[in-house]
Amino acid sequence: MPTAKVNNCEIYYELEGAGEWIVFIHGETHGIEMFEHQLPHFARRYRCLAYYRRGHGKSGCPAYGYSLWNQSHDLVCLLDHLGIERAVIVAVAMSTTVAATVAIHHPRRVRAMVLASWYELDGFPRLEERRKKHPISFAELHLTMGRILAAEGREGLVAFLMREYETYFPIFPKDAGVREKVARMFASHPAAHYVQSAEFYTSIPYLIAAMGAVRCPVLGICGSDDPSPDNPALLAHLPNFRQAWIAGARRFALMEQPEAFNREVDAFLAALEARGRTEG
């Protein structure tokens, strides 16, 4: 079981492939299982790292330390532990804020970024403004999930998520099979996670302006049917940014339409390598 004690937390990670580094970061209440279609694909040409963020899955769940700043430090410490000087980062949803924070404050460590569903860069409380169509706040929803987990167990939480997804999680996939994978991923974490998640969420600042300091290439990817879609105009000031859309997908495009998602990332990486050859 590969783990690393970094920043006072036991972090579980997996490695595949050989070559230049790609780091995959799952979103909030997600897990590395969401990359089941990406890790074997990209490991053919790259050295791939995926890890459970603190409080998720097989990683440790300490009593504190869930702010965005501290979770960004988790990533830097893990890179140091594994001897990774520089990597492409592929981040999903709320973890795009982790990738962005590292790119802003440690630019030499980030070769490029793929930001999948990055509207969370708006930060708190703007995020909650965009969620007003939801019946309860993100924090209250996670506390509700924690209470259901405690009272009814994981299968009870999965049943709730599958039954009520259109009300509470309209981001969930339309396909029932993929939707169940997402629901089980959401129900797979330690009980304390569902409280600590609120600490992370409310710690996210407005990052759009600070992204102006980012000079590495950035690919945004979003499902065309995501109920909170990306707004490419917000990152149009970046010198090396482009946005791709995955037709028919919601928030989890990499699981819903993995071949289309991988094609976009393949093209981005090919352009990155061509650019490196030209500059070299």
Instruction: Give the CATH number, domain containing residue 233.
Output: 3.40.50.1820
What are the C-alpha distances in Å from 178 to residues 36, 107, 148, 250, 265?
12, 35, 22, 11, 21
Q: How many CA atoms lie within 13 A of 82 on its CB side?
A: 25
N- to C-terminal Cα distance for the chain?
Answer: 39
Q: Which residue type occupies 219?
A: L
Does residue 86 fall inside a structural domain?
yes
Q: Please tell me the total count of domains within the chain.
A: 1
Query: pLDDT digit of tens for each residue in the chain (280 aa)?
Result: 699 999 999 999 999 999 999 999 999 999 999 999 999 999 999 999 999 999 999 999 999 999 999 999 999 999 999 999 999 999 999 999 999 999 999 999 999 999 999 999 999 999 888 776 778 999 999 999 999 999 999 999 999 999 999 999 999 999 999 999 999 999 999 999 999 998 999 999 999 999 999 999 999 999 999 999 999 999 999 999 999 999 999 999 999 999 999 999 999 999 999 887 666 5
Does residue 197 fall inside a structural domain?
no
Among 276, 278, 280, 279, CA closest to 20: 276
Does residue 240 fall inside a structural domain?
yes
Q: Which two tokens stand for residue 231?
A: 């707004």
Q: Which domain holds residue 96?
A: 3-124+205-279
How far apart are the C-alpha atoms of 193 and 190, rounded to whole Å?
Answer: 5
Does residue 143 fall inside a structural domain?
no
pTM: 0.97
Does residue 231 fall inside a structural domain?
yes
What is the three-class DSSP state of 218?
strand
Query: What stretches of 95-215 show up as alpha helix (H) in DSSP?
Result: 96-105, 126-130, 138-168, 176-186, 193-202
